[in-house]
Amino acid sequence: MIGVDWGTTSFRAYRFGPDGAVRDRKASALGIMNVPDARFADTLRAEIGPWLAAGEDRVLLSGMIGSRQGWVETPYLPCPAGLDDIAAALIDVAFDWARVKLVLGLSATDAAGVAEVMRGEETQILGVPTLLAEGGTACLPGTHAKWADVADGRIVGFSTHMTGEVFAALRGATILGRTMTDPARNNDAFAQGVRRSADPGGLLHHIFGVRAQTLTGALTESDAASYLSGILIGHEIRAQLDTGRPIWLVGSDTHLSDCYAQAIALCGGVARQPDNTDPAAAIGLAAIAARANWNRSAR
């Protein structure tokens, strides 16, 4: 069986053995926005062609490939949802060289009834067996960070924070960037920003303080970006933190996960990271595929 985590900017494919373990893998920059002329079928065949030629005939896709900009736009499966729910709702995709199924994204609403959606993160969350067994909070750092509540083996609900994208926008398109250089991350400046997020005044006030601190010499230009990152991530974590539950950091970016682990500790929480040998997305794809009915159309 082949599993593909197909995102906006990256393509990651895994070839699984009969026991569900990853036997081979491949990665490229052919995310959905980088596929020429939306030729997704041709791209898939080119990327996994040798595995198909070797006899693989089942392919499970997850991620933004199921979005409006992807191959086939799929609906969202409402929370709560677990492995069995997601496996039973797979969408079939026409492909001449193998049976292809696509994982639906998930939907939820926040406490005020405002809609939430995810695509791809659900597969990563389902790829952390201890989290499914014990329950807790999953945090997936990234451009649009996700926080998901997991209980009884199911994703109960979640929220999204545009922390990474806002950080990039503030650095690149506002006056803050005029007083920032681009050095390596400074842990002390980052921690200072996280602590600042606990002060009165609110996020917008704290953000402008990055410039004021730099202009008055209280903060160096080389530390300003780390300080801003700490403020943004600190506000995100404080909005979600429940110190009575473990927070599982799920994702492939080790540097970003380390930043979140440091910030969570500074905010009074406890971060845990999966000890999986294989990526969570791969484990989740294998688990969903094992529950799918490949002998008939799912929907």
The mean per-residue pLDDT over the stretch 146-159 comes to: 97
**Which tokens in the block code for residue 108?**
């939820």
Q: Do 170 and 72 fall within a single domain?
A: no
The mean per-residue pLDDT over the stretch 250-256 comes to: 89
**Which tokens in the block code for residue 19?**
């026991």
Does the pLDDT value for residue 296 go beyond 80? no
Contact criterion met (CB below 8 Å) for 31 and 8:
yes
- CATH number of 176's domain: 3.30.420.310
Q: Do 15 and 55 fall within a single domain?
A: yes
Q: Do 50 and 75 fall within a single domain?
A: yes
Model confidence band, residue 298 (pLDDT cutoffs 50, 70, 90)? very low
* CA 222 to the chain's CA centroid: 29
**Cα distance between residue 122 and residue 243, in whole Å:** 23
Residue 59 confidence (pLDDT): 98
Q: Which domain holds residue 232?
A: 163-272
Does the pLDDT value for residue 104 go beyond 70? yes
Does the pLDDT value for residue 286 go beyond 70? yes
Q: Average the pLDDT over each of 41-45, 88-92, 292-296 and give the range with the smallest value.
A: 292-296
Give the total number of structural domains in the chain. 2
The mean per-residue pLDDT over the stretch 255-274 comes to: 94
Residue 42 lies in a domain: yes
Q: What is the mean pLDDT of the chain?
A: 95
Q: Do 6 and 82 fall within a single domain?
A: yes
The mean per-residue pLDDT over the stretch 240-264 comes to: 91
Residue 299 confidence (pLDDT): 44
Residue 51 lies in a domain: yes
Tens of pLDDT, residues 159-181: 999 999 999 999 999 999 999 99
Regarding pTM above 0.85, the answer is: yes
Q: From 258, 261, 289, 250, select the one nearest 136 (Cα to Cα).
A: 250
Q: From 137, 154, 146, 141, select the one nearest 119 (Cα to Cα).
A: 146
**Cα distance between residue 71 and residue 76, in whole Å:** 15
The mean per-residue pLDDT over the stretch 178-199 comes to: 93
**Cα distance between residue 180 and residue 178, in whole Å:** 6
Residue 242 lies in a domain: yes
Residue 269 confidence (pLDDT): 94
